[in-house]
Amino acid sequence: MKIEEIMSPECKYLDENASVVDAAKMMAAEDFGAVPIANGNKLVGMLTDRDIVMRAVAQGCDPAKVKVSEMMSGKVYYCYSDDDIDEIADNMAELQVRRMPVVDREKNLVGFVSLGDLSVRGAKRDAGDALAGISQPADGATPQ
């Protein structure tokens, strides 16, 4: 089964020039914790609720004036729409990510896949394996 069969095809994203407040409002309205950041329809980064807290608020930045491009994670993990579900579930576990943007082969943003998508629409075993990997402490840290 391919990712395109289970992904959420309506992927909301923000332009890299949007403010952090715009991102926070979108996250609140849509009830999600990460927003893809794009230049046109090309994926250039991700901004998470944690990025907003740790990189903007905790640093004393004005979220209304700071662009998402200044706070986003530039290293983006993504998958292709024609990738196999089991392969991506393994990849999510290894990378310890709960959600991943989906792009086509030209790297246009076409959707989003989450652990929920794997669980509800994909193979429950793949979702369970991914969750188990994500839940492991990173770099030998002790779980809290």
Q: Residue 7: its pLDDT value, please?
A: 93
Token digits for 135?
A: 């839940």
- Residue 95 contacts by C-beta under 8 Å, 6 or more apart in sequence? 77
Give the pLDDT band of residue 130 (cuts 50, 70, 90).
Answer: low
Q: Residue 33: its pLDDT value, please?
A: 86
**pTM above threshold 0.75:** no
Average pLDDT rounded to a whole number, residues 116-126 = 67
The rounded distance, in Å, linking the Cα atoms of 37 and 128 is 28
Collapsing DSSP states into helix, strand and coil, what is residue 85?
Answer: helix
Give the pLDDT band of residue 121 (cuts 50, 70, 90).
Answer: low
pLDDT surpassing 60 at residue 124: no
Q: Residue 62: its pLDDT value, please?
A: 93
- Residue 75 contacts by C-beta under 8 Å, 6 or more apart in sequence? none
The helix or strand, by DSSP H or E, that contains position 39, with its residue range, turns out to be strand 34-39
Which amino acid, 16?
E
Nearest 5°: the CA angle 128, 133, 43 is 95
How close are the terminal C-alpha atoms of the chain, in Å?
Answer: 36
Give the pLDDT band of residue 80 (cuts 50, 70, 90).
Answer: very high
